[in-house]
Amino acid sequence: MCSIHTVIPHPLFCCCYETLNGKCLALRTNITSFSKAMSENGALPLRGKVLTLDTMNANVKKVDYAVRGPIVQRAVQIEKELKEGVKKPFEEVIKANIGDAHAMGQRPITFFRQVMALCTYPQLLDDNKFPEDAKNRARRILQSCGGNSIGAYTTSQGIDCVRHDVANYIQRRDGGIPSDPDNIYLTTGASDGIVTILKLLTTGEGRTRTGVMISIPQYPLYSASIAELGAVQINYYLNEEKCWSLDISELQRSLQAAREHCNPCVLCIINPGNPTGQVQSRQCIEDVIRFAAKENLFLMADEVYQDNVYAEGCAFHSFKKVLFEMGPEYSSKVELASFHSTSKCYMGECGFRGGYMEVMNMDPEVKAQLTKLVSVRLCPPAPGQALMDLVVNSPQPGEPSYQTFMKERTAVLSALAEKAKLTEEILNTVPGISCNPVQGAMYSFPRITLPERSINEAKAKGQAPDMFYCMKLLEETGICLVPGSGFGQREGTYHFRMTILPPTDKLKIMLNKLKEFHQKFTQQYS
């Protein structure tokens, strides 16, 4: 018996029919005994990998996602080492890298989980421990699911009654400005919606390639998706001196510069800001809309922190509402997609991957394409859709669950407001750290002054200086933060992002550890 590879030569350029046929015949007769052939003849030809760093999708390689980047991987490793009994100068890793409220000990909203359990296991509808309003909502959701089961696929755009509830919620939120359920798409978390809209928008080659304007600092989902889609990232810088506000002249500058090399067609806004925590003024939103209208830009408004506004004098204004208040000249023209999610606000239900987007003024033909595109993934998770429904259709005064619900909701939001204030205050007492007020969202993004020597040492290691800082912080204190370089920042400035989610006492300990570390670090490298 000869070895397989002599019978079947690696077919490089031969595609002549006879050869091919002969080869297949040979294969047919030999295939059953290949293991034998192998053992008799030793190794088969060396087979390189199909998929290597060299052969893989180059766009994927360019993707960066700092929120779960190397520092977080190291944090996980350290956690394991601690479990295995390795001695460290700390007892636990505090993951302040990601806006994951439940992981930080926040309790779920009881009413939401009751309804979800009822949807999951409808036998509980007979259990008298569950309040009637929870049962009513569960019945209503199940009635619009195929076979009355949350295990059925939903329509790709999302469950009909959930989309109606979302539209009603938006209408209420925006003081009566109409919202059409046909414009609502349920999504797998907000990220899914954002990537989907960007996918529609990305086209062209070279100088006509779609440019996407994003704030710097930004939430790295944006830069990651832009890289993956091969679109062009256009940076506009937020003004750190003015509390991370958005400056129209900066938008204009960055657009002008980008037009030299790409086709800018999208403007992304995160309000309240991630990682920067600013809440945009109504005036600023109006200016942005006017700018988008003038420059023919598609607007994407990431409003997942819409319930997270803490600072006095700040209020959340939705882009949709401001757009409509600007009159039909704008409201019938500017294309807008806005995003919301179950993961943030007071519920923090990240694991359910619920979310929705509302698209305004989208070309009807394109909307049909959007529906087609989302249908390939079949549907967003039905439990996430159910949860989204509860967020937009929460207990009302007079319903049995109203009081508990309000108590839980208020407790979460006021604790967050307190922690936002605390974080800003403590950080600003540290020489070399300066922190803007955390007006909203869930993060502080303080600026840190790093000694020249530490910058040089980081550079010698091929690391961004703030990565070097955060790695050291992690190794010495167990605190896991994300370096500012993962979000983008003005050159020569350094920051980190930390969530304000740990419970107040833990947050205080963490901030004090951070303070000590920073002072020590500054001394060590000065």
Tell which positions 333-392 bind another protein, by CB under 8 A.
333, 335, 347-353, 361-369, 372-373, 375-384
Q: Indicate left, alpha or beta for 299 from its phi (over 0: left) and psi (-120 to 50: alpha).
A: beta
- In order, the DSSP letters of 102-157 are GGGTPPPPHHHHHHHHHHH-GGGGG-TTS-HHHHHHHHHHHHTSGGG-TTSPPPTT
Q: Looking at the DSSP assignment, which residues form a beta bridge with residue 483? A: 496
Cβ distance to another protein smaller for residue 214 or 427: 214
**CB-based contact 111:390 (threshold 8 Å):** yes
Binding flag, residue 44, another protein (CB under 8 A): yes
Alpha carbon distance 351, 403 (integer Å): 26
Kindly state the smallest distance separating residue 200's Cβ from another protein, in Å. Answer: 6
Binding flag, residue 408, another protein (CB under 8 A): no
Q: Which of 49, 83, 87, 294 binds another protein (CB under 8 A)?
A: 49
Residue span binding another protein (CB under 8 A) among the ranges 64-72, 268-276, 410-418, 440-448: 64-72
Kindly state the smallest distance separating residue 274's Cβ from another protein, in Å. Answer: 13
* Residues within window 21-40 making contact with another protein, judged by CB under 8 A: 21, 23-24, 27-28, 31-32, 34-35, 38-39
* Residues within window 153-192 making contact with another protein, judged by CB under 8 A: 153-156, 182, 188-189, 191-192
Binding flag, residue 48, another protein (CB under 8 A): yes
Binding flag, residue 84, another protein (CB under 8 A): no
Which stretches does DSSP call E strand in 137-292? 184-188, 210-216, 232-237, 263-270
Amino acid at site 322: V
**CB-based contact 274:306 (threshold 8 Å):** no
Kindly state the smallest distance separating residue 517's Cβ from another protein, in Å. Answer: 24
Kindly state the smallest distance separating residue 74's Cβ from another protein, in Å. Answer: 14
Residue span binding another protein (CB under 8 A) among the ranges 124-132, 401-409, 419-427, 480-488: 124-132
* Residues within window 248-287 making contact with another protein, judged by CB under 8 A: 265-266
Binding flag, residue 56, another protein (CB under 8 A): yes
Binding flag, residue 104, another protein (CB under 8 A): yes
Dihedral sign (CA 452, 457, 463, 466): negative
Cβ distance to another protein smaller for residue 40 or 452: 40
Binding flag, residue 202, another protein (CB under 8 A): yes
Amino acid at site 325: E
Which stretches does DSSP call E strand in 38-80? none
Q: Which of 96, 141, 150, 226 binds another protein (CB under 8 A)?
A: 150
Chain mean position to CA 141: 27
| Residue among 350, 346, 336, 507 nearest 441 (CA) | 346
Binding flag, residue 100, another protein (CB under 8 A): yes
Q: Looking at the DSSP assignment, which residues form a beta bridge with residue 433? A: 448
**CB-based contact 245:290 (threshold 8 Å):** no
**Contact string 217-236 vs another protein (x = CB under 8 A):** ----x--xx--x--------
Kindly state the smallest distance separating residue 452's Cβ from another protein, in Å. Answer: 32
Binding flag, residue 478, another protein (CB under 8 A): no
Binding flag, residue 76, another protein (CB under 8 A): yes
Alpha carbon distance 417, 422 (integer Å): 9
Count of C-beta atoms within a 10 Å radius of residue 447: 19
Binding flag, residue 203, another protein (CB under 8 A): yes
Binding flag, residue 117, another protein (CB under 8 A): yes
Which residue matches tokens 């939903």? Answer: 154
Kindly state the smallest distance separating residue 314's Cβ from another protein, in Å. Answer: 27
Binding flag, residue 510, another protein (CB under 8 A): no
Kindly state the smallest distance separating residue 52's Cβ from another protein, in Å. Answer: 5
Angle (nearest 5°) at CA 393 between 392 and 397: 130
Burial class (CB in 10 A: 0-12, 13-18, 19+), 313: exposed
Q: Which of 136, 149, 256, 283 binds another protein (CB under 8 A)?
A: 149
Kindly state the smallest distance separating residue 520's Cβ from another protein, in Å. Answer: 30
Binding flag, residue 106, another protein (CB under 8 A): yes
Which residue matches tokens 């961004």? Answer: 464
Alpha carbon distance 437, 515 (integer Å): 18
* Residues within window 437-476 making contact with another protein, judged by CB under 8 A: none
* Residues within window 1-20 making contact with another protein, judged by CB under 8 A: 4-5, 8, 10-11, 15, 20
Kindly state the smallest distance separating residue 96's Cβ from another protein, in Å. Answer: 13
**CB-based contact 285:292 (threshold 8 Å):** no
Q: Which of 74, 88, 90, 103 binds another protein (CB under 8 A)?
A: 103
Q: How far is CA 105 from CA 94, 369, 414, in A?
A: 12, 41, 16
